[in-house]
């Protein structure tokens, strides 16, 4: 049964979109691509656009979209309705595959909500031949899929452009009546980057750590390769569907780079997406033309956009066509007179910068590679060009952080504000520095994967101190998230399969995590607040990201120095 409110919303969205695909059902391998958040958020995700286009490009495949139901949709199951796709308004249970695009751990609870709203059994062990295959991909599960292992039939790890074409070819070639277990076995054997959790056995020791991990059949690989694309210019990764109903509705998103060679010790993208790859200005020309023809601002995306060797040339080519552009964040040591002049010409009034830490000692711990000279120079150059606002990203709870580092942050921001005011005197006046504070979350496949999350109580105290220290500064605004959600994010980022039981408990309790923790026999602190042993088998160690574990361990030791 379909909800008429749901169906009307889908039709209204299609009417406001340009570029969506509508293929005829019948004979095609059908996939519903799901972003586990609201439509506005999902349609701002460039990876979601790329996978949608990639599947629909296959002549024997059809791909439609679905999102987390809107708040006013109510309880679909209570009305006897189920979640439907946008393009054909079919129930998700009618598709051959339901594929989740997973970029953020905090979206994991929504996966369970969506499966329930679609009438699909939440746990993979409860599904049979009549149910679609439930699969997942994206950066979050490429780092560590284990907390979701009980809910997915398979994962495709790595970059979609590298793994999806071969996977789709195999799926199309296999007999339609192939039993589910045989199908999953073929996928695990033949597709690099495929991971079927049920085909791997995990043994836990008396200390709660993983003692062993092995495939149930020698034919399955012990380690899962994370495929990546060698030549970015073989395809265009750009926005495929134009709609105003997104967080970035005025932009046409285009990926200009992938990966980063900086090696910041906290950044997963800098390790998992190695090596750094850049699209040439010539290769990007056609994408820019398409975006500008639609009257859009070109949004340049990438892990390290400001490291692109031809960034000024790329920006100038957009401006010369009468267009405008947006860059998410600039490296502080890449803010020069040429770049600020280009940004000013586009009408930009706010630029994002990421000092990350207040003291030089702590910036060295995280291997940020910048000093106060670059920080102050960037602020002064922006103000000289009349860019009157800056957003500053800082992390708290970093490894080895002390109260002295927090005081250094307060002092650094005050000095940045003083120099901004001083530099902009006599010109269009400096307006504001917005200090965005985020707690450091340890991530898999980084040097800090062994490090615990900082205690939430300490983080709250340090946030209060920062706000108190900057309270009298009228042109400085402080914003931050809720530390309690950082605990859950860390749990879902660092957990093993047992964390899936906590996720299911919280789902059954309507999202009441406090009660789920209280009623469970699983110690969440074991995953969040415990420093892992150097030789411990980590839940994600079976994934080969191309970076040796010994290298990451050495980087962690260098970061800690002589500290225990």
41 - beta bridge partners?
none
Pick from 550, 557, 502: which is nearest to 525 by CA? 502
pLDDT tens digit sequence for 188-211: 999 999 999 999 999 999 999 999
Spans in the chain with pLDDT lower than 70: 1-2, 74-80, 426-429, 562-564
The H-or-E segment that residue 173 falls in is helix 160-173
Q: Domains in the chain, start-ordered, CATH in brackets?
A: 4-225 (no CATH), 351-545 (3.30.750.200)
Question: Is 423 within 8 Å of 384 (Cβ atoms)?
Answer: yes
Query: What sign does the CA torsion over 403, 405, 408, 409 have?
Result: negative
- Backbone angles phi and psi of 148, in degrees to 5: -105, 5
The whole-number pLDDT of residue 498 equals: 98
560's CB contacts (< 8 A; 6+ apart) are 365, 399, 400
Residues written for the chain = 564
Coil, helix or strand at residue 561: coil
**With a threshold of 0.85, does the pTM exceed it?**
yes
Residue 180, Cα to own-chain centre: how many angstroms? 30
Alpha-helical runs (H) found in 22-159:
39-42, 46-57, 108-117, 139-143
Question: Is 502 within 8 Å of 518 (Cβ atoms)?
Answer: no
pLDDT tens digit sequence for 119-169: 999 999 999 999 999 999 999 999 999 999 999 999 999 999 999 999 999
The whole-number pLDDT of residue 386 equals: 84
pLDDT tens digit sequence for 285-333: 999 999 999 999 999 999 889 999 999 999 999 999 999 999 988 999 9
CA 144/CA 225 separation, integer angstroms: 13
155 - beta bridge partners?
136, 195
Peptide bond into 210 cis (omega under 30): no
The whole-number pLDDT of residue 477 equals: 95
CA 517/CA 503 separation, integer angstroms: 10
Residue whose tokens read 């000279």 = 373
Task: Give the CB-side neighbour count of residue 261, counting CA atoms within 13 A.
Answer: 9
CA 215/CA 218 separation, integer angstroms: 6
Neighbours of 282 (CB within 10 A): 11
The whole-number pLDDT of residue 348 equals: 83
């Amino acid at each position: 049964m379909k909800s008429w409110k749901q169906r009307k919303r889908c039709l209204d969205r299609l009417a406001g979109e340009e570029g969506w695909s509508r293929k005829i059902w019948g004979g095609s391998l059908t996939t519903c691509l799901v972003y586990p958040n609201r439509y506005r958020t999902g349609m701002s995700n460039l990876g979601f656009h790329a996978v949608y286009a990639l599947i629909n490009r296959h002549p024997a495949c059809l791909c439609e979209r679905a999102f987390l139901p809107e708040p006013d949709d109510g309880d679909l199951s209570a009305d006897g309705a189920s979640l439907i796709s946008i393009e054909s308004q079919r129930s998700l249970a009618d598709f051959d595959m339901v594929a989740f695009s997973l970029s953020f751990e905090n979206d994991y609870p929504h996966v369970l909500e969506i499966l329930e709203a679609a009438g699909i059994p939440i746990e993979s062990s409860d599904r049979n031949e009549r149910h679609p295959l439930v699969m997942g991909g994206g950066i979050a599960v490429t780092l560590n899929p284990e907390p979701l292992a009980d809910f997915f039939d398979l994962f495709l790890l790595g970059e979609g452009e590298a793994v999806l074409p071969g996977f789709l070819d195999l799926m199309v070639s296999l007999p339609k009546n192939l039993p589910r277990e045989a199908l999953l076995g073929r996928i695990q054997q033949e597709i690099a980057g495929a991971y079927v959790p049920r085909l791997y056995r995990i043994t836990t020791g008396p200390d709660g750590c993983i003692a062993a991990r092995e495939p149930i059949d020698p034919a399955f690989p012990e380690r899962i390769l994370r495929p990546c694309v060698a030549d970015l210019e073989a395809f265009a990764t750009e926005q495929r569907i134009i709609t105003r109903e997104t967080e970035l509705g005025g932009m046409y998103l285009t990926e200009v780079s992938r990966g980063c060679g900086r090696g910041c010790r906290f950044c997963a993208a800098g390790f998992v997406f190695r090596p750094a790859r850049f699209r040439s200005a010539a290769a990007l020309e056609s994408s820019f033309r398409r975006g500008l023809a639609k009257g859009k601002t070109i949004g340049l995306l990438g892990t390290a956009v400001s490291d692109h060797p031809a960034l000024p040339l790329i920006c100038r080519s957009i401006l010369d066509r009468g267009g405008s552009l947006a860059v998410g964040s600039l490296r502080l040591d890449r803010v020069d007179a040429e770049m600020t002049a280009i940004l000013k010409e586009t009408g930009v009034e706010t630029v994002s910068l990421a000092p990350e830490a207040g003291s030089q000692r702590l910036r060295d711990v995280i291997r940020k590679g910048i000093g106060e000279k670059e920080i102050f120079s960037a602020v002064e150059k922006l103000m000289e060009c009349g860019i009157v606002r800056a957003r500053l990203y800082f992390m708290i709870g970093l490894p080895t952080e002390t109260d002295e580092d927090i005081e250094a942050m307060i002092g650094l921001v005050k000095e940045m504000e003083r120099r901004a005011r001083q530099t902009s005197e006599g010109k269009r006046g400096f307006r504001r520095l917005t200090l965005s504070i985020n707690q450091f979350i340890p991530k898999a496949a980084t040097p800090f994967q062994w490090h615990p999350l900082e205690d939430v109580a300490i983080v709250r105290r340090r946030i209060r101190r920062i706000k108190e220290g900057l309270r009298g500064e009228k042109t400085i605004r402080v914003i931050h998230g809720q530390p309690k959600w950082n605990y859950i994010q860390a749990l879902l980022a660092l957990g093993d399969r047992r964390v899936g039981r906590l996720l299911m408990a919280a789902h059954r309790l309507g999202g009441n995590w406090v009660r789920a923790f209280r009623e469970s026999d699983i110690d969440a602190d074991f995953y969040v607040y415990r420093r892992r042993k150097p030789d411990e088998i980590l839940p994600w160690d079976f994934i080969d990201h191309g970076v040796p574990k010994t290298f990451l361990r050495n980087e962690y030791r260098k970061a800690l120095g002589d500290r225990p």
